Structures are given as structure tokens and as C-alpha cells.
Amino acid sequence: MAVSDIKKLGTKVSWKDLTEGMMIAGAGVSREFLTGEWSSVKPQFDERKCTQCLLCTPVCPDSCIPVVDKKRGAFDYDHCKGCGICVKACPAGAITMEGVE
Amino acid sequence: MNDTIEIRWHGRGGQGAKTAALLLADVAFNTGSYVQGFPEYGPERMGAPITAYNRISKKPVRVHSNIYSPRYVVVVDDSLLDSVDVTAGLAKDGAIVINTEKGKEEMVKGLGGYKGKVYTVDAKKISLEALGRYFPNTPLLAAVVKVAGIMEKETFLKEMQASFRHKFANKPEVIAGNMKALEMAFEEVR
Amino acid sequence: MAKRDRLSGNEAVAVALRQINPDVFPAFPITPSTEIPQYFASFVANGQVDTEFITVESEHSSMSAAIGASAAGTRALTATSSCGLAYMWEELYIAASNRLPIVLALVNRALSGPININCDHSDAMGARDSGWIQIYAENNQEAYDNMVQAFRISEHKSVRLPIMICQDGFITSHAVENIELLEDEDVKAFVGEYKPENYLLNPKCPLAVGPYAVTDYYMEAKRSQAEGMRYVETAVLETAGDFARLSGREYGLFEAYRLEDADYAVVMIGSAAGTAKDAVDELRADGEKAGLLKLRLYRPFPAEAIAEALKHVKTVAIMDRAESYNNHGGPLGADVMAALYRAGSRVLAVNYIYGLGGRDVRVESIKEVFAALKQIASDGRAGEAYRYLGIRE
């Protein structure tokens, strides 16, 4: 079977278009599912304070902090749920939550 | 169905009545009959009265009930006569085969006025003589095959020889004794 | 070439499984199905199959392992009875909703209590709404033949549902009867290779099985599952057609025995149907127009075909080897009566509970039912529709 079109998992989809047994085929399909809208607050990144220790990347439960060319990249706000774990992990105080003291 | 021979076995758990019923089904099958061999299952343990059944027919057997009006009854242990109504439903023109060391007259007395034929065989004596141990089912199998006229002696012995070779592939030394037990019982049942 | 043999129902099913040579068989023993994994374990030990035989610690685990194995892409099965099936309850629904074509050799036994090891259909009937296909056998031959056909039905592209191949505990599972076996290579060719489209152990296309469904899609998911059931009758008949060409033995959704011109009919499932055939023949010899409908496929329920087959009879008795405790009959009774009602049938129908916990069913017992049916026809009314057969009052 082709890779499942996860966008079909929605309130408008007919039962006929669901996959057999609700199986989801294909790797990385969760990227299609934009969980970023689940949050009301987002972390902000201050590049000037960042020491490039990269401790924030592995602690993100949604893999929203990429490393590009061995450097910390910009937040993936499409999938960031605003949990704030990266704020706690950053030893340099380079990440803050918008609207959170 | 009249063209089906129905046989009921009465024994005690551990005496091999079920095995004997399955062996009888085997030999009848090998000579081209349709067969059923099945025990009545419950939580019985060693020594408790148990019942097993055979149907042997020239036509496929469809009925799946127990047997209530057998043509033949085999009693593996004569002490059962005191506790079990072994002749219940037994055909008047049928027969009962009892394993006993006692005389036939004594057995007849214990059968509550059953009018059909009564046969006895001393399976203990035969088994001890032929096998050195007490396995009543082998002699009784031969006895019922003879009484019920299921097949000729030669055919029966030939079939059983093959069956034992298969069953006792790992201990061929017991085959001769079992064959002797069958032959003796075939002769001694009366 | 068929091989003439004599086997118990359990051994017959084990032989079919040896010939099928499935990939994974997780097993936990319970009377009266224990012999199936027992025989099979010897086939494994003797190198006659290359199945992964897993001795697990419970039926909850045996079905769980079968689910995992099936999702991984293998042909998986297990066997059980009675409370073993009850202990699989949660997994039965998971297997069906995940559309996993698992086979379960079910040897029917009463559920507790009182605790009892003998045959009735209360175990399988309790699982009738779990989404499994259920096929029943009258004797060892049918148990064997149904097992040979099982994977073809459950793996059918439009079906993809698990299947229970049922036979009556002790009555057929432990009774030695004549049987015709197919050649190993014929069974192998008939069953074919299992090639699932999606499976967990496919590195080219990873798979998520059994995801959570929120209210938004749960109902659509169940409707989608029901669609698989709608193709089962077709799959059963297609498979039976191919099987008949191979074996010469014909199977359908049910067997109509002397039913075409019958005035009085009995509807039943399992080994007692053989006994009922003898009763029908004896009554026919006396000039009574008795007939039998023996159900093979119970889930899904072939309602239209059954109503059609019964439309001409005057009276019908539906025989349930299980209680339903609804104060008006058993599960088969409810299904058949609903089928008759929807077909606009005016046939007078009664429902008997019989054979619970191994209670013996005799030719005379079935003739008693036919006598009641004749009486109902002459009275012109069914009277009490919820009856017990052979109960001590």
C-alpha cells in the first residue's frame, strides 16, 4: 500500500477513506500532523546568548529544535507544543517562553 | 440404525477401556468399516467407573450421542456389576462380555435377569501369563471381536500385529506378549 | 489423492495445521483443545513444520502473541476452549479491529459456572459480537476441511478478519471417526503463500498498527470494519468452490438436509446436527416431512439465505447450545427469528436451549422436537417460544 495520507484523518473524512484497521503506513507521517497549534505560548530563542552547547535539541519531545551545519537551528513552530522543557535545559538562558516570566 | 453395531464399554479409570475402544475402532477401520470410538468424559480419576463407546458400520456414522441400546457390552472389571447397571438397554439378542476370575453362573446372577448371552474371560490370568503384567484391555479386545463377530481371527491378528508394531515401535519386546494375550483370549472367551 | 484415515477431531485439526505449516503458533493448554498444540508440538519437535511454536503463560498472552505475529506479517494462529477464550476477550476485539487474519481453533466447551469441561457453545456465542468470523463443524471431517479453508477466507483481500474454526468439545474433538485427508502438497498449494500488503517487519514501509481513535473517527473505523464482514459470505463460497474441486466435498454457508420440501425444520449448529440427520431420516421413513438446516457460517450471519431456505416450512425449531439469559431465547434463536421477521416470514418458530455442559442429544431428543413442531402446526400457534430440551422438571 502507498504511504497513508494522514491529512485524511479529520472530521470530514468518510469511513470509506479510512485505512484498513486504521493502520498508518509509511515513515515520518506524523510530520503531516501539525501539533504546533495546540499551544498558546511558544519558546523564543535569543541567538546572541546561545553558546551552541546543543543541550536543548535532544530534550525536545517533539524534535522541534533542528541542528543545521552543527549549529542550533530555528524552532519548528508547526510541531512545538510549547512544553517549555528546552527553557529548563538551556544553561545560558537563551530560551524564554513568550508571556511566561 | 440397524446396520450399525453399537458397543458399550464399562471400566474403571486407568484400566484402558478408552484405549480398548480406540483400538477396536482402529481394527474395524482397517478392515473397511466406518467407525466411532469415544469415551464419556468427566472429571473421573483412577478407579472411578468410566464408559466408552464404539459404533461400527458399513455406512458413514452421523449420530453423535452416547449409546443407550448397545448390541454388546464389555465389562472390564467385574466389581462394576455391583455399582453400575451394565445391562441397561442391552439388546436381548445381544451379548455381554465380562472380565472375571469367577464362574459364569455367578456373573449371570449379578446381571439382574438379563436374558441375552453372557460371555466371560479371565483377562487377568491371560494378561499375567502372556505379558507378566495386568492389562485387561488387550484380552478383552480379542474377546469382543470374537463375540461380536467383527472379523475372522486371522484377519484380526494380522491387523493387531501391524497396529502393535506401530504403537510399540519403541518397545518391540512387548509385541509378542500382546499377540499371545489376544490369541489366548480369542480361544478362552466362552 | 485423498488418504483414508481415522482420527479424533483434535488430531484432524492438528494434521491440517501441519499441512498448512503456519509461521507462528503461540499456545496455552486448556481442556478439551489441549491436544491440538500437543500434537502440533510433536510436529515441531520432529521437524515436520518450521513454525515458531511459543509456549506462553496464558490465553491472554497467546492471543496477544498471535496479534503481534500477525501484525508483523506472519500467518499466526492459536487454539483454546471455554475460559481460555474468555481470557482472550480484550484481544479478540483488537485482532478484529486491526484487521488481522488470525485463525483460532476453538474447541467448544461450557463456560463456568458450575465449572464443567464438556461441550456447549457458550464460549463461542459470547464472542459472537467480537468481529471474528465463526465457522462450525458437525464432525472431524468438517473440522479438518474448515481448517484447511480458514486462512483463505480470513486473508481474503476484501475480508482481512480473524476467524474461529469451531468444533464440539469431546463429542468430535475426542471421538475417533473416519476421515479423508488431503495430500500435504495439495493443502499447501490450496492455502498458498501469505503476502500481506502492509506488515510491521517491512523495512521499506514502516507501519503503525492499532492507533488511538478519538470520537471523531471511532465510529467510522467500526463502520469500515463492518465492511470486511460484508465480503465474508463471498469469500466463504469462493473458497468452498475451490475446495470442492480439490476434495470433492461441498460446503456452503449452511447445509440444507432434506429441507426443500420439509414442513417442519430444525436449525442447529455443530455435532448434534449429525444426530438430527438420523432423526430426519427416521421421520421421513414414517412419512413425516422433516428437514434440517445446519449452520456452518454463524458470523457473519447469513440471514437472507436462511430466511429463504426456511420460507416454505410450517414450523421451525431453532436449537441453541447456549443460554443468552434474556428471558426469551438463545443467541441463534434471536438471529434466526430476526432474519425471518425481516423477510416477512409468517413461519411459527420456537427456540430450544439444549445440550448445555455436554448434555447428550439423542435421535429421540430431536424426534421429540419434531413432534412438538407438528403439534404447533396443528394448533396454529407457537405457544411458549423459549423452551428447554430434555430438562428434568
Selected for mutation to probe chain C from A23, A29, A33 (highest C CB count within 10 Å) is A23
User: What's the confidence (pLDDT) of residue A30?
Assistant: 80
Instruction: Report, as an integer, the average pLDDT of B75-90.
Output: 94
Which residue is closest to C93 within chain A, CA to CA? A21
A38 confidence band (pLDDT: 50, 70, 90): confident
- The percent of residues in chain C predicted with pLDDT above 90, rounded, is 96
Mean pLDDT, chain B, integer = 92
User: What's the confidence (pLDDT) of residue C136?
Assistant: 98
Q: ipTM score here?
A: 0.92
The secondary structure of B99-162 as a DSSP string is E-SS-HHHHHHTTTT--SEEEEE-HHHHHHHHHSS--THHHHHHHHHHHTT-S-HHHHHHHHHH
Domains of chain C: 3-246 (3.40.50.970), 254-388 (3.40.50.920)
Give the sign of the dihedral formed by CA B8, CA B14, CA B19, CA B24: negative
Comparing C-alpha atoms, which of A50, A43, A49 is closest to residue A64?
A43
User: What's the confidence (pLDDT) of residue A2?
Assistant: 61
B59 pLDDT more than 50:
yes
The DSSP code for B174 is G
CB contact under 8 A, A26 and C100: no
- Structural domain range at position B168: 4-188
A100 pLDDT more than 60:
no
Neighbours of chain C (3+ CB pairs under 8 A): A, B
Could you give the strand order of the β-sheet that contains C254-257, starting from the edge strand earlier in sequence? C254-257, C290-295, C264-269, C315-320, C348-353, C386-388
Measured between beta carbons, the chain B residues lying within 8 angstroms of C278 are 1, 62-63
Classify domain A35-101 by CATH number: 3.30.70.20
Neighbours of chain A (3+ CB pairs under 8 A): C
A1 pLDDT more than 80:
no
Name the residue with higher pLDDT: B162 or C58. Answer: C58
> Rounded to an integer, what distance in angstroms lies between the CA atom of residue A15 and that of residue A3?
18
The DSSP code for A4 is P
Instruction: Report, as an integer, the average pLDDT of C202-217.
Output: 90
A101 pLDDT more than 70:
no
Mean pLDDT, chain C, integer = 97
Classify A11 as helix, strand or coil: coil
Q: Is C180 at the interface with chain B, CB within 8 A? A: no
Which CATH number goes with the domain that contains B83?
3.40.920.10
User: What's the confidence (pLDDT) of residue B169?
Assistant: 85
Asked if C147 and C96 touch (Cβ cutoff 8 Å), the reply is no
Alpha-carbon distance A92 to nearest alpha carbon in chain C (angstroms): 39
Classify B75 as helix, strand or coil: strand
Instruction: Report, as an integer, the average pLDDT of A7-21.
Output: 83
User: What's the confidence (pLDDT) of residue C389?
Assistant: 97
| Lowest mean pLDDT across A10-24, A80-94, B147-161, C297-311 | A10-24
Instruction: Report, as an integer, the average pLDDT of C13-35.
Output: 98
Q: How many Cα neighbours within 13 Å face the side chain of B87?
A: 24
A56 pLDDT more than 80:
yes
C279 confidence band (pLDDT: 50, 70, 90): very high
B31 confidence band (pLDDT: 50, 70, 90): confident
Domain count, chain B: 1
Nearest to C207 among A10, A13, A25 (CB): A25
Q: Report the residue count for chain A.
A: 101
Nearest to B62 among C277, C360, C361 (CB): C277
C112 pLDDT more than 60:
yes
Instruction: Report, as an integer, the average pLDDT of C16-38.
Output: 98
pLDDT one-digit tens code per residue, C1-11? 689 999 999 99
- What lies within 8 Å, CB to CB, of C281 at 6+ separation is C258
**Whether residue C113 has a cis bond before it, omega within 30° of 0:** yes
Asked if C319 and C272 touch (Cβ cutoff 8 Å), the reply is yes
User: What's the confidence (pLDDT) of residue C153?
Assistant: 98
Classify B15 as helix, strand or coil: coil
User: What's the confidence (pLDDT) of residue B162?
Assistant: 87
Name the residue with higher pLDDT: A7 or B55. Answer: B55
User: What's the confidence (pLDDT) of residue A37?
Assistant: 87
Q: Is the pTM of this model over 0.90?
A: yes
User: What's the confidence (pLDDT) of residue B44?
Assistant: 67
User: What's the confidence (pLDDT) of residue C261?
Assistant: 98
User: What's the confidence (pLDDT) of residue B2?
Assistant: 56
The secondary structure of C88-113 as a DSSP string is THHHHHHHHHTT---EEEEEE-PPSS
Instruction: Report, as an integer, the average pLDDT of C234-258.
Output: 98
User: What's the confidence (pLDDT) of residue A99?
Assistant: 64
User: What's the confidence (pLDDT) of residue B168?
Assistant: 86
A9 pLDDT more than 80:
no
Instruction: Map out the domains of chain A as residue ranges.
Output: 1-33, 35-101
